[in-house]
Amino acid sequence: MLGAQLALNAVALGAAYALVAIGFVLVLNATTAVNFAHGESVVAGGFAAVALTGALVTLLPAGNAIPGIVLLPGVLALTALLGLAIAALAYLPIRNRPPVSVFVTTIAFGIIVTNGLNAAFGAAPRAAPALLGTGTIEFLGLTASRQSLPIIATAALLIGALAFVLQRTQLGRQFRACAQDPEMARALGIRLTRITLLAFALGTAFAGAAGLLLAHQFFVTPSDGAGLILKAYIAVVIGGWGSLRGATIGAMLIAFFEVGVASFSSQPLAEGLLYVAVLLVLLIRPDGIFGEPQRVRA
């Protein structure tokens, strides 16, 4: 029964990580640039939920709590705006410079976000409201946090909606065209800047959603961004640079190591084994599980 419990926890954690990794890949595909402020965008999502709770709770009668699911649209909107700011300030002005310039500007933007959140909210860990309710529920002999199942459902819904947009809509086709060949896409009349801005907004909104999902159960502090960007990066390396499906698989694998492997070894060993797995993937499939050779991007 413990195994099932661990599996549930791993899937819930992996679902939230998958949102982070997918947001990262969206920007990567649209710009071929790595957005190192992505981890801070997750953190910003968590703090957006904390701030919105503080603002809304004053409108309710005393003693009433606000479920996190109510905050989700607001968090998505606020972090999408943050994504536009990252694009406008840290990417578009230097998009024709070498990629390392974007590394530096997005790292700088991330530091500004971290210190801004530190100044605004303080350094203490904060908790966002639960999506639907707190405590535990029992089913099939498992004792699960009330947050776990809504995390999985919300992540699945968002990822499904994104897959639908990318595969079934004209906008999605434009996204994919820009990911595969930006110059040709521009020649065909696709407005590359508009797609870039949309990618940053959408990718950062996904990061914000992950922040909301993680910030109740696992809390959020201004300095969490560095660890999260590392996880997104590893997920993308495992899954394949630029593959949304690969990013999801990579995120699930990270969660499996963090929860599953750690349960029968030790946490430091599990972390070491994760990096061994990354090296093995790179040795056997240098482009990741769903990487470039298959041309399955977006």
Partner 1 sequence: MSPLPRIFVTTLAVMAVIAVVGLIYFPRLLPDTTRIPVLVPITGFLSLEGTSQRNGAELALRDSGVAFDVDDTGTAPETAVNAFERALASGRDGENVIAVVAPMLGTQMLALVPLADEFDVPMVTVSGTARITELGSPNVFRFFPGDVVVKAAHARYAVEELGAKRPAVIFQTTAYGQSGRAELDRNLTALGAPPVFAEGLDVTVKDMLPVLSKAQDSGADALLLHLHAGPTALVIRQARTMGLDIPIIAGSAMHQPETAALLEPRELDGVCAESGASPISESDPAMRAFVEQYRDAFDREPDAFALAQYDGVQMVLRAFELGARTAANVRDWLSTQKHEGLAMTYASDGKGNMAHSAVILCYAGDSRVPAIVKRYENLTGVL
H-helix or E-strand spanning residue 25: helix 2-31
Beta bridge partners of 53: none
> Of the listed pieces 69-77, 111-119, 171-179, 290-298, which binds partner 1 according to CB under 8 A?
111-119
Check residue 268 for interaction with partner 1 (CB under 8 A).
Answer: yes
Decide: 126 and 50 in contact? Cβ < 8 Å.
yes
By the rule CB under 8 A, 118 interacts with partner 1: yes
Closest CA to 12 of 207, 251, 246, 263: 251
Contact 213, 108 (CB under 8 A): no
Q: Which is nearer to partner 1, 184 or 276 (by Cβ)?
A: 276
Q: What is the 3 state secondary structure string of 206-264?
A: HHHHHHHHHHHHCCECHHHHHHHHHHHHHHHHHHCCCCHHHHHHHHHHHHHHHHHHHHH
Among 79, 105, 145, 196, binds partner 1 (CB under 8 A): 145
Smallest distance, partner 1 to C-beta of residue 230, A: 8
154 part of the interface to partner 1, by CB under 8 A: no
- CA atoms of 23 and 53, how far apart (whole Å): 24
Quick one: which H or E segment has residue 139? Answer: strand 136-139
Quick one: which of 32, 101, 180, 263 contacts partner 1 (CB under 8 A)?
263
Q: Which listed range, 84-92, 112-120, 154-162, 237-245, lies at the site for partner 1 (CB under 8 A)?
A: 112-120
Give the gyration radius of the chain's Cα atoms. 19
CB of 285 to partner 1, least distance (A): 26
Name which of residues 9 to 68 contact partner 1 (CB under 8 A). Answer: 9-10, 13
Q: Residue 235, interface with partner 1 (CB under 8 A)?
A: no
Residues that bind partner 1 (CB under 8 A): 2, 5-6, 9-10, 13, 114-115, 118, 122-127, 134, 136, 143, 145, 214, 217-219, 221-224, 227, 255, 258-260, 262-263, 266-268, 270-271
